[in-house]
Amino acid sequence: MLTTKGSCSSMDQLENCAFIDTYLRNLGSHFKFANVLCLSDLESMVEMENFGSDDRPKING
């Protein structure tokens, strides 16, 4: 299992983190969240899943 620790700085980001956390939990995800999952952590996981693939859309610009 992967444990992800994130830190959210703004309320908007915090809401996004909570949404992503709930969304992945509802998917029956195998990830265990030790802290709030942030977009930067999600992007890192996407990069780990798809490393070497530069044609995927970027999450943050």
Residue 27 falls inside a structural domain: yes
User: How sure is the predictor about 3, in pLDDT bands with cuts at 50, 70 and 90?
Assistant: very low
Contact 45, 24 (CB under 8 A): no
Domain total in the chain: 1
The predicted-structure confidence for 13-56, as pLDDT tens digits, reads as follows 666 667 777 776 666 554 555 445 555 666 666 665 555 555 55
pLDDT of residue 34: 43
The candidate with the shortest Cα–Cα distance to 37, out of 52, 25, 49, 51, is 25
Q: What is the pTM of this model?
A: 0.22
**What would the two tokens of residue 37 be?**
């999952």
Residue 55 falls inside a structural domain: no
Type of residue found at 34: A
Residue 57 falls inside a structural domain: no
Q: What angle do CA 25, 50, 52 make, to 5 degrees?
A: 165
